A and B are shown apart, each in its own frame.
Chain A
Amino acid sequence: MKQVAILQFPGTNCDLDTQYAFEKLGCKTTIVWHKEKELPQNTELVVIAGGFSYGDYLRSGAIAGFSPIMDSVIEYANRGGKVLGICNGFQILTEVGLLPGALKRNINLHFISKFQTLKVVNNTNEFLQKCNKEEILNIPIAHADGNYYIDENGYKELEKNEQILVRYCDNRGKRAIVNGSVTSIAGICNKNKNVFGLMPHPERALEVVLGSTDGVKMLEGLIA
């Protein structure tokens, strides 16, 4: 049984959904309060859940990045441990430098909350290993700061190393401008392919009755 640690900051609000999701997929989960200094022993995956840590003050994810638990998360990631950041978790991972680039205010300045189609760009990583390349997934998004920015050199690196995970697209797979992200990027991983971040919420797409089960094959990749 995989051991999953789910971080909780003041303002995190997807911790319980994330816990439900990984337990449904057969994992043992522990919610870890941000003031803890160590991750639970035998942690096999760290998930930074979505929400509004510290009310998004200063910048989304900026203050959470300096919480006590983050030192051990950074060390864990640098040792090769798997880390997934969803939404606010993605913002936190860019703020601490575990993922390149930054997330700016959406181009239309709106908080966008809806189901969104995504296209799998690369599946040469553990996270998307169960998805097909170019497969279209239907996953909810809910964010105000999801406008991914990276400079030109950084972007070339992402492309070259197959670090782009998913892009926003329309029903036919054509790139869609949703929040102004560089080339419609919705999620990326680091060069070593052990740290993953995305704005969409796969943990909210596990039940037919809730509109989509496409989140299952995403999350399953990380616990295979």
Chain B
Amino acid sequence: MKAIVNIFLKEGVLDPQGKAIHHALNAMNFEGVDDVRMGKQIVLKLSSTDKKEALKEVEKMAEDILANTVIEDYTIELF
């Protein structure tokens, strides 16, 4: 099974990298971009075949180390 963990700065926490990308897009005349957030994606290959069990495990990984929940939110996709 594969797990994809997406990590982004929380809404309301200023994202300097997203902001820089937004400025660049504007400078390149890409219009209609209201906001840019930059995050990271971590892909895990899991030996587990139990989806519920795997989700629980990956949630713990995200809480304990993959994300810093003081400033970041995360989402988990399993497939």
Contact = CB atoms under 8 A, between A and B. Distances in A.
A190 interface: no
A47 to B, nearest CB: 23
How would you classify the secondary structure of chain B's contact residues: helix, strand, loop or mixed? mixed
A104 B13 contact: yes
A107 B14 contact: yes
B65 A104 contact: no
Nearest to B42: A58
B33 interface: no
Contacts, number: 36
Nearest to B12: A151
Contact of A105 (B17, B65, B66, B70): B17
Interface string B1-43: 0000000010001101100100000000000000000000000
A59 interface: yes
Contacts of B46: none
Interface string A157-191: 00000000000000000000000100000000000
B44 interface: no
A111 interface: no
Contact of A104 (B9, B20, B66): B9
A16 interface: no
A210 B10 CA distance: 41
Interface string A80-108: 00000000000000110000111011111
Contacts of B65: 58, 62-63, 65-66
Contacts of B66: 58
Contacts of B48: none
A107 B16 contact: yes
A71 to B, nearest CB: 14
Interface residues of B, number: 11
B68 A95 contact: yes
User: For B9, B17, B71, which residue has the most chain A Cβ atoms within 10 angstroms?
Assistant: B71
A180 B68 contact: no
B68 A147 contact: no
User: For A62, A94, A102, A107, which residue has the most chain B Cβ atoms within 10 angstroms?
Assistant: A102
Contact of A59 (B14, B17, B68): B68
A109 B15 CA distance: 10
A222 B10 CA distance: 36
B13 A147 contact: no
A105 B68 contact: no
5 contacts: A59-B68, A62-B68, A101-B70, A149-B71, A180-B14
Interface of A: 58-59, 62-63, 65-66, 94-95, 100-102, 104-109, 147, 149-150, 180
| The 10 residue pairs across chains A and B that have the minimum distance between CB atoms | A102-B70, A102-B71, A107-B16, A105-B16, A102-B68, A149-B71, A109-B16, A109-B20, A59-B68, A105-B17
